[in-house]
Amino acid sequence: MRLILANFDKVLGLKGCINFEENKPLLIYGENIAGKSNIINVLRYCLIPKSKGKERKGYSEEKRLSKDEILLERNSIGSAEIFFEQKGKFYKLYYAFSRGGKNVRQVQRLYESDGAILPKEDGKRIHALKNLQWRDLGVSTSKALKEKLVELGIYPEVLDILISASNVRNFSEAINGSVVRVPEIIAAKISKLHDNSGKYLENLKKLHGVIVLEKDTCEKRIKELKISFSEVTKNLPQFNIDEIFIKGRTAENLEKVQQSISKELASIPERTGEIRETLALLSSEKYDLWTKAIESITTVLASKEELKNLLSRVSNIQKLQEILARWKVAFDQLPPDTHPEGLLTFNIPRYDDVDFSAFTNSEIIKSIFTCCEEAKELMRLANTVCEKYKVPFKFQQINEVIKAYEELLKAIKKPSEPTGDPALISQRNGKTLVSIPLDVALKKVEYLKGVEPTPLVHRPSEMDEAKFQEEISRLQEEIRLYLSELRTAKRKLTEAKKLLSRAKKSRETLDAEIKLLKEEEQKNSRKLTRLTDDWKTSYDHMCKVFGIRYEEIDLSTPDSIDKSYEKILEKYAIAQGIFELDLIQHLKKYPEILDTYKGQKPTDIVKKIREEFQKMIEKLSELQREYQKVNEWILSNITQAEALENNIKTIEVVSVALAISQEIFARMYHKTDINRIIEELADKIEVSVRDIYSKLFPEDESLDRKS
């Protein structure tokens, strides 16, 4: 604390101000009875608020003035302002006195302001102090003033020792320790207080240990309740356990949860009833009819391509049956095996525009055509050779000609000379006939028996040898060529007969294929009839249940199916609109569900909502069971939780009281150590006295030498 300035106005005869310069001692001097002591007395009166203890009677220079001594004249007023600095802040202690009769009334206030740089001149200094922004600290009684000064670190008891009208006289006594001599009776009381406070302090420590143990027990039990509640509410994630089990508010929060659960339990039957009522509407006969009609027409509309395919399939099968019937008639006209040459005039049916993959036995059926075509081509080639050599187009004749030429080729390999008798060669019944003249035959009967079957050739008598050999060579080449072509024709004819036979064998497949196609036609026709009936029935049913005008539909051709499809689709959209409007009307209590399924088909919405409502009912039932469990738990444990919390609150209050009591008794124990009190007071007073004395009398070094 540092005094800055004191301003007196008509108190104890004082008027004016005293400026306390920093780091400089203040020496008050004057004649006796000039009022020097009055300055000290006013400072003591203002800075050392009066305690309730009785003061000694009689006069003493150190005795504190009473309030009634401040103003002596009747009907007078006065004031005192003391400015001081403490911990970097300025404070103004203001007293106002007034005397109307016998007693003096006073008002005291304490103000605070931020520190500032002040001028040194008295007039400017007090003016600067008065112009500061002062904050009233709300002190209006002597007791409050004393407590506030102690709070600021200013102790009136210390000031009472340091500020005295006879301080100079007490310096030597302070140094010698006479100021802190404590009477024995007071020392005994202090020692007794010291011992008792020590006992109380020990007892308080023991009690604190018991209370801490009790608090731990209560907190442990609350943790057990928290774990138990967490287990009960494990299926209810909306309950945040940490937000419920808050220290000091658990019972209150449990009560709120119980109230909330009670409301939910009360509302669940009503909510379940509304859902069941709506579910009953969605499951009504009307909705069942509508749903079935929509589902039926949806199925029908989805089968448009199937219907068109069936129609095309039946038509294609019928065309294939007609084609196979024509082929069967045609291939039944194939020539017999004995006259294969009939193939030359046989007309093979056209098949270039037919897809053989449509047949079950496509390869076999196609082989009939390929066999006939190949056989006919072979026949044509063989016939060309026969016509070339003028050979009858018969297998037997071709074979006989080949044998004859082979015999001729053998004969001309070794021609003989023109010896022997003449003979006549002729043809009869397709065979070579040798006729011998009668006169020769009569002369030489051996001509008619033992005849060689192989004919012989001989050189004509008129042809020379060279010419004959040349002619033989030419004939051999021609015969070989004839034989080669005839043999090829024979082979082709043989192959043609085989192909013809194979074609006839495969021809039987046509009957089996016709039978299969007939069965396939009947099967697809039944499907077509059934699907056509489904279309007409579903369309008619939808129009009836939704009250829509019925229009005839034609399903006989692919184009008419497309047109009928568009017509049904138009009616289907009208039915969907009727269904949707009715559904919205019934679900107006559930806008969130309508938003969820917005844009979907009414039938899908009904199906999904039925499933969702069933799940909602199950969830509400499960939720009701869970809420009941939680509600029962809270009702069973809330009283215990409340009692535990109250115990903890009581323990905390008692703990605080014990802590305060321990602190008080610890300080009391410390402060009532008589030896420490004497030593500390002596040391502090000695230091203060030496410091002040050295500032007042810097030339006097006697105190320093004495130390």
DSSP per-residue letters across 43-104: HHHHHSPPPSSPPPSS--TTSPPPGGGT--STTEEEEEEEEEEETTEEEEEEEEEEESSSSE
Closest CA to 138 of 169, 97, 177, 109: 109
Distance CA 597, CA 590 (A): 11
- pLDDT for 207 equals 77
Better pLDDT: 126 or 466: 126
- pLDDT for 282 equals 57
Q: At residue 398, what is the residue type?
A: I
Distance CA 107, CA 145 (A): 11
What percentage of the chain carries pLDDT values higher than 70? 78
143's tokens: 């007791």
461's tokens: 């008598």
- pLDDT for 151 equals 87
Band of residue 176 on the pLDDT scale cut at 50, 70, 90:
very low
Better pLDDT: 375 or 455: 375
Contact 568, 299 (CB under 8 A): no
Closest CA to 158 of 144, 142, 143, 174: 174
Contact 390, 498 (CB under 8 A): no
- pLDDT for 696 equals 65
Q: Which of 32-36, 363-367, 450-454 has the lowest mean pLDDT?
A: 450-454
Question: Is the pLDDT reported for residue 339 higher than 70?
Answer: yes
* H/E segment holding residue 132: none
Domain locations along the chain: 2-156, 189-283+617-669
What lies within 8 Å, CB to CB, of 567 at 6+ separation is 551, 553
The stretch 549-573 carries a mean pLDDT of 89
Per 3-state DSSP, the chain is made up of helix, strand and coil in percentages (nearest 5) of 65, 10, 25
Question: Is the pLDDT reported for residue 61 higher than 60?
Answer: no
The stretch 241-255 carries a mean pLDDT of 82
- pLDDT for 174 equals 44
The stretch 388-398 carries a mean pLDDT of 78
Phi, psi (degrees; rounded to nearest 5) at 33: 60, 25
Phi, psi (degrees; rounded to nearest 5) at 30: 165, 180
List pLDDT tens digits, range 633-673. Answer: 888 888 888 888 888 888 778 778 778 877 787 777 777 77
Distance CA 178, CA 682 (A): 9
What percentage of the chain carries pLDDT values higher than 90? 7
Closest CA to 304 of 523, 521, 538: 538
- pLDDT for 701 equals 65
Q: Could you report how far apart the first and last alpha carbons of the chain are, in Å?
A: 27
Closest CA to 328 of 197, 508, 153, 65: 508
The stretch 309-320 carries a mean pLDDT of 86
- Average per-residue pLDDT in the chain? 78
- pLDDT for 169 equals 46
List pLDDT tens digits, range 375-387. Answer: 888 888 888 888 8
Q: At residue 702, what is the residue type?
A: S
The stretch 240-255 carries a mean pLDDT of 82
Question: Is the pLDDT reported for residue 137 higher than 70?
Answer: yes
Band of residue 599 on the pLDDT scale cut at 50, 70, 90:
low
Q: Which of 49-58, 223-232, 332-341 has the lowest mean pLDDT?
A: 49-58
The stretch 77-96 carries a mean pLDDT of 92
Q: Which of 113-127, 143-157, 292-306, 582-596 has the lowest mean pLDDT?
A: 582-596
**What is 407-461 written as a DSSP string?**
HHHHHHHS-B-S-S---EEEEETTEEEEE--HHHHHH-GGGGSS--SS---B--T
323's tokens: 């084609």
2-156: CATH number: 3.40.50.300
Question: Is the pLDDT reported for residue 682 higher than 90?
Answer: no
The stretch 298-326 carries a mean pLDDT of 87
- pLDDT for 443 equals 61
Better pLDDT: 110 or 468: 110
Q: Taking every pair of C-alpha atoms in the chain, what is the biggest distance, in angstroms?
A: 226
Q: What radius of gyration do the chain's Cα atoms show?
A: 72
- pLDDT for 177 equals 44
- pLDDT for 111 equals 94
Name, of 456-470, 572-586, 668-682, the range with top average pLDDT: 572-586
> No. of H helices and E strands in the chain?
19, 8
Band of residue 91 on the pLDDT scale cut at 50, 70, 90:
very high
Q: What b/e string do you get for 362-390 counting C-beta neighbours within 10 Å, with b at 16 or more?
A: eebbbbbbebbebbbebbeebbebbeeee
The stretch 133-144 carries a mean pLDDT of 90
Q: How far is CA 345 from the centre of its chain?
A: 83
Strand duo 424-428 + 431-435: pairing = antiparallel
Band of residue 520 on the pLDDT scale cut at 50, 70, 90:
confident
